[in-house]
Amino acid sequence: MVLEGYYGASDDEQASAAIRRALDAGMNMIDTADAYGNGHNESLVGRSIAGRRQDAFVVTKFGIVFDEREMGTDLATGWGFSLKINGTSRYVRKALNASLHRLGVDVIDLWYAHYADPATPIEETVQAMAQGVRDGKVRYIGLSNVSAEQVRRAHKVHPITAVQFEYSLWRREVEVDLLPTLRELGIALVCWAPLGSGFLSGTVGSLNKDDFRHNNPRFAGENLQKNSHRFLPLLKLAEELGVTPAQLSLAWLLHQGQDIFPIPGTRRADHVLENAKAADIQLTYDLLKRINELAPPGLAEGATLV
């Protein structure tokens, strides 16, 4: 998503270099969506993995509609605007073929419904996605930004492999309901914004005027100041441990279980390598306890987005 300029300008050449560097470093899950850059990002990913398909676990999402001629249901978000969502079986089929074409692949490794369509039973959406599996166009099915109850219903129609939801040291409510349900059902949690949309890297000062994070209440004027103050002890702990704040946040997530998969976004090949090294960090029980005390659930100020 960040390769489409949401959090600052991005250029395709640099973006492709970052993707290839990730594959070199063994970070093989490449997460995109038909919504990112309205199809542009899937094409970018397709070009970037061309010739090394076997190195990449290709993941995309569908369901957010930008085409004026296409139907959809308005879904309010915490960003202060609505998204148009379509999860009907007709649209699911159409979206799959379009994503395969843009990605230039025969099969998508993991395919998510980006949001559940409020006007379409989730059973219908998943049934249509499952047809993609039967047709050999999709390996695994996932859901994104859903409730525990929606996961249970969907999982009865076809096994759900992964659920994608925001999870990091500045947003932890999945721990209450969603994650226990996923564990009961044997479903992985893929954490979007594992760096708190960049906040937990400790490098976000003021935002450029067209930065998408202006829509995020946690980055709004006073909240950003409050959050910078509240998370300072965590950032200082990273310094004490000789790692970067981004690495500490990713390492913490990786220690929450083998079923937890953070997908940090970056436009920069050097950040890719920095983030990959988080997998080598060992956190002791005492350190995990300390991190939990420094950044307990509910510490961040500002409403959440989804």
Contact 19, 45 (CB under 8 A): yes
Which residue lies nearer to ligand NAP by CB, 99 or 275? 275
Which residue lies nearer to ligand NAP by CB, 27 or 134? 27
Which residue lies nearer to ligand NAP by CB, 42 or 91? 42
- 3-class secondary-structure state, position 109: strand
Contact 275, 246 (CB under 8 A): yes
By residue count, the chain amounts to 306
Cβ-proximal residue to ligand NAP, closest one: 265
Residue 138 vs residues 38, 57, 90, 110, 111: alpha-carbon distances, Å: 21, 12, 17, 7, 7
Dihedral of the CA atoms 275, 1, 190, 163 (nearest 10)?
A: 180
Cβ at position 211, least distance to ligand NAP in Å: 9
**CB within 8 Å of 96: residues ≥ 6 apart:** 62, 108, 111, 129, 132, 137, 138
Which residue lies nearer to ligand NAP by CB, 1 or 160? 1
Cβ at position 285, least distance to ligand NAP in Å: 26
Which residue lies nearer to ligand NAP by CB, 91 or 261? 261
Give the side-chain half-sphere CA count within 13 A for 8: 12
Amino acid (1-letter code) at residue 47? R
Cβ at position 198, least distance to ligand NAP in Å: 3
Cβ at position 200, least distance to ligand NAP in Å: 7
Amino acid (1-letter code) at residue 132? G
Which residue lies nearer to ligand NAP by CB, 37 or 265? 265
Encoding tokens for residue 246? 């981004």
Binding site for ligand NAP (CB under 6 A): 1-2, 7, 31, 144-145, 164, 192-198, 201, 203, 246, 263-268, 271, 274-275
- Residue 167: active-site member: no
Q: Looking at 6, 7, 36, 285, which residue is catalytic? A: 36
Cβ at position 173, least distance to ligand NAP in Å: 15
Cβ at position 296, least distance to ligand NAP in Å: 19
Phi and psi at residue 220, to the nearest 5°: -70, 145
Instruction: Provide the angle, in degrees to the nearest 10, between the axes of the packed helices 40-49 and 89-103.
Output: 40
Encoding tokens for residue 203? 């490098």
d(CA 260, CA 217): 26
Q: Annotated catalytic sites, by residue?
A: 36
